Amino acid sequence: MSALFEPYTLRDVTIPNRAWMPPMCQYSAAPDGPLTGAPTDWHFTHYAARATGGAGLVIVEATAVSPEGRISPYDLGIWNDTQVEAFRRITRFLAEQGSVPAVQLAHAGRKASTDRPWAGGAPVGPEAHGWQPVAPSAVPFDADHPVPAELTKDGIREVVGQFADAARRALAAGFEIAEIHGAHGYLIGNFLSPHSNHRTDEYGGSHENRTRFALEVVDAVREVWPDDKPLFFRISATDWLERDGWTADDTVRFARELHAHGVDLLDVSTGGNASGVRIPVGPGYQVPFAARVKAETPMPVAAVGLITEAEQAEKILANGEADAVLVGRELLRNPSWARQAARALGGEVRVPEQYHRSV
């Protein structure tokens, strides 16, 4: 049997295969009005296509736990019940197609309040639906970003509560798996890295202090997320800095801690917290970071990073480098990538009856 098309069970949720769709922002929600942050017809069509195409797990893009937690004014959110109702249409359809619906809960931190990438991605102010970003320290992402407001301890507690509230709503919306976004230079990653966290209180300095906020979020979400449903955590395994950044060694240590706090799988990416760094991008370039976590900790892992070919994905799993693969850009190009990979590898995926002539 193809390793890519073996089912995978975490807690009481069985994912039918290991070809998964990662969270990829669409920047297509309304920026204001009663439907702010709610998924639209675009989102339904986008995610439905990947489910009918055979992806075993579909992780909905970064979904903000508060209005201020969005990357852009056009991001999804799950801070109110109107958004919950709109998500139900998506989760119901994904489940009907045999895909497991998951959602990434996020807060953008110091990289919040920016325009859509195709409009330049620059920071935006109130005149363009923008707001004041927050962070662990008053340190901007780069010279083009504003200085973020440093979160007070009360502010930190408020955000922890927002993650828990978002998890409750995600459950009500029909999601089977929740993922906490701790990667790519957003708020949780800001706290983890000494590059962006210059605090001198119990949330800064040592590894224990810099990971405190992340673990408080995990504990708050795990408390409200059912015991029979998995919890994922996405991490940037390295800042790609020579010094004074988050490292692969930090990630291995933290993976053990996350596992002890009830996280079921680490979604291993890299970068995004420091501007101007050189990243050696190439096929599977982030897989070694996932492989190291899998080899040195009890934490299951999913690998990402220019995984585009069926044989490449199969080899990663067969070699024991990861437990699943997240196929991003290729799924944007080809919504039926999983179905075509199954044909190439001799695996099986559910094919909608309406598409039976394609088998």
- The set of catalytic residues is 186
Helix/strand/coil for 125: coil
User: DSSP label at 127?
Assistant: G
Phi, psi torsion values for 326, nearest 5 degrees: -110, 115
Which amino acid, one-letter code, is at 352? P
Give me the residues paired with residue 181 across strands: 234
Q: Which two tokens stand for residue 322?
A: 């990861």
Spatial separation of the C-alpha atoms in residues 177 and 55, rounded to whole Å: 15
Confirm if 135 and 141 have CB atoms less than 8 A apart. Answer: no
Opening angle at CA 192, ends 188 and 197, nearest 5? 100
Q: Strand 8-10 to strand 19-21: parallel, antiparallel, or no bridges (unpaired)?
A: unpaired
Contacts of 151 (CB under 8 A, 6+ apart): 134, 135, 136, 159
Give me the residues paired with residue 178 across strands: 103, 231
Which candidate, 337, 350, 335, places its Cα nearest to that of 49? 335
